[in-house]
Amino acid sequence: MSQKVVIALGGNAILQPKQEATYENQLENVRKSSEIIARIVKNGHTVIVTHGNGPQVGNILRQNEEAKDVVPPFPLDVCSAESQGFIGYMMDQTLKNELHKLGLGNHVVSILTQTEVSKNDPAFDDPSKPIGVFYSEEEAKNLAEEKNWVVKEDAGRGWRRVVASPMPKSILGSDIIKKLADNRAIVIAAGGGGIPVVKNEDGSLSGIEAVIDKDRSAFRLAEEVKSDVFMILTDVQNVYVNYGKPSQKALTHVTLEEAKKYVEEGQFSAGSMGPKMEAAIKFAEQGGRAIICSLDQADLAMEGKAGTHITN
């Protein structure tokens, strides 16, 4: 049966750990991802794709810092838009190519997407998301004073700028994304969690310096386009409990109650699987099917043959 699925690609779909961030390497990784997504389309499903952008934004920020004496640096929301643009271009092109190989003529559309957050979100009172390059303590504190940044020491590796990670209120343009998907177009949207914006008192929008968690935005997108399936692709085949211990167990088909119990037990790291499970549980609460699986098994997971499935 044809289903509408929002696919949230992890960072490894664009850049592998320790891999040089050349355009050629990233394009080939995206091509491999598109090959798998095209198979899901061939099986009759409607697909909306969202993706991470952490390493890419980090590199754009570094380019800004390295060239700041020659070219004025841009704010973080603009850097997020830049990353959405070039990743969207790679996905748009490779998806069209892979669909063509399969004899499919679906339209592919990449949408530069803004995500509304609240300027009163408590995350702005305690910025915690590290971004960009590492500095010495002296450099970091000088930059904090010069640019009004918040800087923190990052796990013994050096000092970095930290920004707020507010909750997404809504995906702007989700009604258009839904209409396109309902007409069998493949839509690439809300990359990197979306470009963070706030709504002013007069109804106008303004960009704000923040980073939105991509899995939380992907859930919001899946909710607003009324998706049947919400699929989070990562670098492991399943979600595990007791991870790294002799009693480690892969989860396959999990009820909502079981998933919530594992979260209460503290089974999932706040920095990796925690936000993914949070988003998956919220989607399952609304009656949908949430899947967390590896990229290379996404088509099998759609058939229920791989990954971790959470249902109400």
Would you call 147 a catalytic residue per the annotation? Answer: no
- Cα–Cα separations (whole angstroms), residue 45 to 1, 69, 113, 295: 8, 49, 23, 17
Question: Which of these is catalytic: 194, 214, 288, 307?
Answer: 214
What is the token pair recorded at 218? 């992907």
Catalytic residue of the set 96, 276, 288, 307? 276
> 292: helix, coil or strand?
strand
Answer yes or no: 12 catalytic: yes
Strand partners, 249: 241
CA distances to 40, 57, 60, 97, 155 from 63, in Å: 37, 10, 5, 31, 24
Round to the nearest angstrom and report the end-to-end CA distance of the chain: 19
Query: Which of 12, 59, 97, 312 is an active site residue?
Result: 12
Residue 51 burial (C-beta neighbours within 10 Å; 0-12, 13-18, 19+): buried
Pair type for strands 114-116 and 170-171: antiparallel
Would residue 214 show up in a list of annotated catalytic residues for this protein? Answer: yes
Q: What letter represents residue 270's amino acid?
A: A
129 is catalytic: yes
Q: Where are any strands of DSSP class E within 55-117?
A: 108-110, 114-116
Residue 299 identity (one-letter amino acid): D
Are the beta carbons of 287 and 226 closer than 8 angstroms? Answer: no
The verdict on whether 305 is a catalytic residue reads: no
Pick the catalytic residue from 4, 10, 11, 53.
11
8-state DSSP, 119: T
| Among 42, 129, 169, 199, the one annotated catalytic | 129
Gap between the Cα atoms of 146 and 140, Å rounded: 10
Q: What per-residue string of b and e applies to 273-299 under the rule 16 or more CB within 10 Å gives b?
A: bebbbbbbbbbbeeebbbbbbbbebbb
Catalytic residue ranges: 11-12, 129, 214, 276
